[in-house]
Amino acid sequence: MKDEEARVEAALYSAGRPLSLEEIAKAAGTTSKRKALEVVKKVKERVNSCMKAIEVVELEGQRYAVQLKQEYVRIAKRFSMKPLLPKSVMKTLTMIAYYQPVPALMLAMKRGSRVYSHIKLLESLGFVERSKDEKGRRIYRTTPFFSAYFGLPGEVDKLKAKLSSYFPKEALKEGEEEPQEQV
């Protein structure tokens, strides 16, 4: 069992993203999701009780990740080599989070055509999801995984209030009017 725990711990640490129970089972060398769940819970319990700045968290959909505890993120940023997302993609993600549900057209008008490659990356990471509004236009919003990953509230109103506390009012007011889609 200790060997399975060590392999799961190594997988969680090196992945840099949340792992599903299927992936954890592979790391543990088993096909049983029940066994994988048992192992990852032991790893979570051990890491969370022994480590001061690092934790194993369970995210929506029985996915698990190793991450810094929220209170240590600021200090770690000073020493990190490469950000998870380029600054331009983070700006797009912030805009989606603040204006959600936000039409694709508004994003393209404010961020330029490169926004489509940003959205593709953000969707692949599970941070945003696409749907259609009542007129059939593509709209984007953040996912529960986005909130969990960045330690932000899941409720849209609370999320917007939290984002407002991080940025100057002028930065978030830009583009508040929804553009009219041309036919």
Q: What is the pLDDT along the chain (183 residues), one digit of tens a residue?
A: 679 999 999 999 998 888 999 999 999 999 999 999 999 999 999 999 999 999 999 987 888 999 989 888 888 877 777 777 888 999 999 999 999 999 999 999 999 989 999 999 999 888 999 999 899 999 999 998 888 888 788 888 888 888 887 776 555 554 444 333 433
- What's the confidence (pLDDT) of residue 173? 52
Q: Do domains 2-77 and 87-173 have the same CATH topology?
A: yes
CATH architecture label of 2-77: Orthogonal Bundle (1.10)
Q: Where are the domains of the chain?
A: 2-77, 87-173
Residue 39: C-alpha distances to residues 26, 64, 76, 172 (Å): 12, 12, 28, 44
Contacts (Cβ under 8 Å, ≥6 apart) of 20: 61, 62, 63
Q: Would you give the DSSP letter of residue 133? A: -
Q: What is the pLDDT of residue 24?
A: 95
- The span from the CA of 154 to the CA of 138, in Å, is 22
Say what the pTM is: 0.54
Radius of gyration (C-alpha) of the chain in whole angstroms:
19
What is the CATH number assigned to the segment(s) 87-173?
Answer: 1.10.10.10
Q: Which residues are within 8 A (CB) of 98 and not within 5 positions of it... i.e. 6 or more apart?
A: 160, 163, 164, 172
Q: Where are the alpha helices (DSSP H) in 54-179?
A: 73-77, 87-99, 104-111, 115-125, 144-150, 156-166, 169-173
pLDDT for the residue 62: 87
- Comparing CA positions, the residue from 62, 32, 56 lying closest to residue 42 is 56
Residue 169 has a pLDDT of 58
